[in-house]
Chains A and B, each alone.
Chain A
Amino acid sequence: MLSSAATSITVILIVFFLFIEGAGVFTKKPIDDGFLLAVSVDNQVKKIKPSEIKDIYDQKITNWKQLGGKDLPIVLFRAGDITDYYTEEELGKNFEFFPDKINELIAKTPGIIAFFSDKYKAKDFKGRELDIDKIKVSEFLSGEEWFPTAQPIAQMGVKPLIYGTLWVSLGAILLALPIGLAAAIYLSEIAKKRTRSLLKPLIELLAAIPSVVYGFFGLVIIVPLIQSTFDLPVGETGLAGSVVLAIMALPTIITISEDAMRNTPRAMKEASLALGASKWQTIYKIVIPYSASGITAGAILGIGRAIGETMAVLMVTGNAAVIPHTLLEPVRTIPATIAAELGEAPNGGLHYEALFALGCILFIITFGINMLVELVTNRNSHKKH
């Protein structure tokens, strides 16, 4: 009895652990533990968004005027830059004067923004420490940049990853759906029983090939092919991911839509044929409309598979965390991001938790897709009775 609850317990445990770890990202500030950002007390800019801090350190914002402050050039300062201002003797043998010197520097440089460890923060600190807000859920979802290890402020915007995932998956389904439907029609309506019993297991075998093998195949065959066909600098693109995912989604789409088509009542088909319709007319006027919800379910499940697929996508899409404009650019999907980055993220840190939050998003999407399929197929079974 307990074992029959095993799957339910597992689902609940997955939800629990995923969300506990993932929620951690929203309780932390996107700045490394024990570090602080400080400006001069005279600085009028009160709040700076994480993305703006990144722009400052990338020197895209160079004047406080741009942030609503005084017309004053921004002076960037990282702890390592201290030697540009003071000699080693002035700092002391063990950097014992470091805090004082930073204090001095901030006091005399009105345009400064300084990033340093708080062990160098003097007791009578003369600068103003910037308030860094915790990461908000809305920022996490709508942020356009994913640089989880950026300094001084980690950029945790999942938008490019969500876009990447959707682009690649939709591309895959656009490729796979017509092909899969054609095969399903052939198997259920045209093929002889013998042919069908020969072809179907072979097509299902496509589902058995491990995803890492698809990734490898994509890497050595499809990626170079795309690179030369479209004359691209790199072949690792969203399109390569879509092609590989389309192949992987085919068995799902074919099996489910074929099942649905074979459920079309014989009497319906025969009535259509008796009225003088050709076999093809019967298929597209009777069989396809009748099995529409089954076909939809197949397509949705196919998308679900594609969204969650990790290894194959990781190996062929190039993994650039930028919002893609065409499928011919490198993209990065949510699962690929988790797979690529979790190994380097320190346990329990902000980056680690952000990746778990990505896992939550992925889980919610696929869970929703499963529910949707359930809904669609339930409607179908009502129709039958």
Chain B
Amino acid sequence: MSQQSSLAKKKRRNQNIAFGIFTFTSYAIVALLFVILAFIVIKGIGVISWEFITEMPKNGMTEGGIFPAIVGTLCLVLVSMVFAFPVGVLAAIYMNEYVKDGWIKKIIKQMTNNLAGVPSIVFGLFGMSLFVNKMGFGDSILAGGLTLGLLVLPIVIRTTEESLKAVDDTFRQASYGLGASKWETTSKIVFPIAFPNIITGLILSVGRVSGETAPILFTVAAYFLPKLPTSIFDQAMALPYHLYVISTSGTNIEASRAMAYGTALVLIIIVLISNLLANALRKYYGNKVKTN
């Protein structure tokens, strides 16, 4: 009897130790996230000012602002989304509403997964070879934007597909029941219901595009360019590349540290906002669709 209870005690103790470790680890990971964020916020917040956001870099990028990098990143986001959003959404609609389950769907799915797994530097190589050299765009916002667009295509497709799948089949059946065609059902019923969720995919992609460095290294990014791009065939600075440059190879790394913290903070803010916004939207509309 006593042996049994000591066994039970041991069991209990083991469990407590194990669970303690697991709980601690999980909170430690979250703490790590906050350490990284807090570190950049605390170091960067003092740097951010109106001038920092609206002025050109000065004095070997150790003073002034990061305005051209912000504008460059916005241009890249715009170009990549103009390309990836329609293509990705149409692809997902076609896949989800039109293609029957079978080997074609399987292959397309597999290819989408594979594309998502391609390292970003390989996208950079590809973009350089195809857009910059073969198609003759040169180092330009167009070349970089298209490269980034291809990079986020799988994300757009996946989130759109998920949102289409989340639309209850009764909507489709009711629409067919009223005599609507497939296209009418898709465009007037399914798409509007899924739209808010599709937008979350768009927002997530914006976050991803703003933070990517490797694909733009050789397709668009300018080391230092104190003027704004005037067309999509211009080179441009971009936030992530700017951060890379001033933290590793600027003219005076120590002197530009403050600028680096500021740039990192701006970048983090963009990415965080897009993620939180996407999460909030998903939650909000997720509940709404269900209660409808």
Q: Which residues of B contact A307 (CB under 8 A)?
A: 119
- CB-nearest residue of chain B to A179: B25
- CB-nearest residue of chain A to B133: A347
Contacting pair A311 B244 (CB below 8 A): yes
Q: Which residues of B contact A7 (CB under 8 A)?
A: 91, 108, 111-112, 115, 153-154, 157
Contacting pair B125 A356 (CB below 8 A): yes
Contacting pair A342 B217 (CB below 8 A): yes
Question: Known interface pairs A14-B122, A210-B267. Does A3 touch B90 (Cβ–Cβ under 8 Å)?
Answer: yes
- CB-nearest residue of chain B to A247: B32
Is B150 positioned at the interface, with any CB of A under 8 Å from its CB? yes
- State how many angstroms separate the Cβ of A143 from the closest Cβ of chain B: 21
Q: Which of B95, B121, B157 contacts A338 (CB 8 A)?
A: B121
- State how many angstroms separate the Cβ of B132 from the closest Cβ of chain A: 9
Contact with A along B116-129 (1 / 0, CB 8 A): 01111111111011
Contacting pair B119 A374 (CB below 8 A): no
Contacting pair B26 A205 (CB below 8 A): no
Question: Known interface pairs A208-B272, A278-B11. Does A250 touch B29 (Cβ–Cβ under 8 Å)?
Answer: yes
Q: Which of A186, A208, A339 contacts B271 (CB 8 A)?
A: A208
Identify which of A71-79, A105-113, A155-163, A195-203 touches chain B.
Answer: A195-203
Is B178 positioned at the interface, with any CB of A under 8 Å from its CB? no
The bracket for how many chain B residues form the interface is 35 or more
Mark out the residues of chain A between 320 and 363 whose CB falls within 8 Å of any chain B CB in the assembled complex.
335, 338-339, 342-343, 347, 355-356, 359, 362-363
Is A232 positioned at the interface, with any CB of B under 8 Å from its CB? no
Q: Which of A219, A342, A362 contacts B128 (CB 8 A)?
A: A342
Q: Which residues of A contact B129 (CB under 8 A)?
A: 17-18, 21, 356
Is A215 positioned at the interface, with any CB of B under 8 Å from its CB? yes
Q: How far is the CA of A250 from the CA of B29 in the complex (A)?
A: 9
Contacting pair A11 B111 (CB below 8 A): yes
Mark out the residues of chain A between 59 and 98 whose CB falls within 8 Å of any chain B CB in the assembled complex.
none
- CB-nearest residue of chain A to B217: A339
Q: Which residues of A contact B186 (CB under 8 A)?
A: none
Is B21 positioned at the interface, with any CB of A under 8 Å from its CB? yes
Q: Which residues of B contact A279 (CB under 8 A)?
A: 15, 19
Contacting pair A310 B120 (CB below 8 A): yes
Most chain B C-beta atoms within 10 Å of own C-beta, residue among A4, A10, A183: A4
Q: Which residues of A contact B111 (CB under 8 A)?
A: 7-8, 11
Is A212 positioned at the interface, with any CB of B under 8 Å from its CB? yes
Q: How far is the CA of A209 from the CA of B275 in the complex (A)?
A: 10
- State how many angstroms separate the Cβ of B146 from the closest Cβ of chain A: 11
Q: How far is the CA of A202 from the CA of B34 in the complex (A)?
A: 9
Is A30 positioned at the interface, with any CB of B under 8 Å from its CB? no
Given contacts A182-B26, A213-B211, 9 further A-B contacts (CB under 8 A): A3-B86, A3-B90, A6-B87, A7-B112, A18-B122, A187-B26, A215-B244, A308-B119, A356-B125
Closest 8 CB pairs of A and B: A308-B119, A210-B211, A280-B15, A182-B25, A186-B22, A3-B90, A8-B111, A4-B91
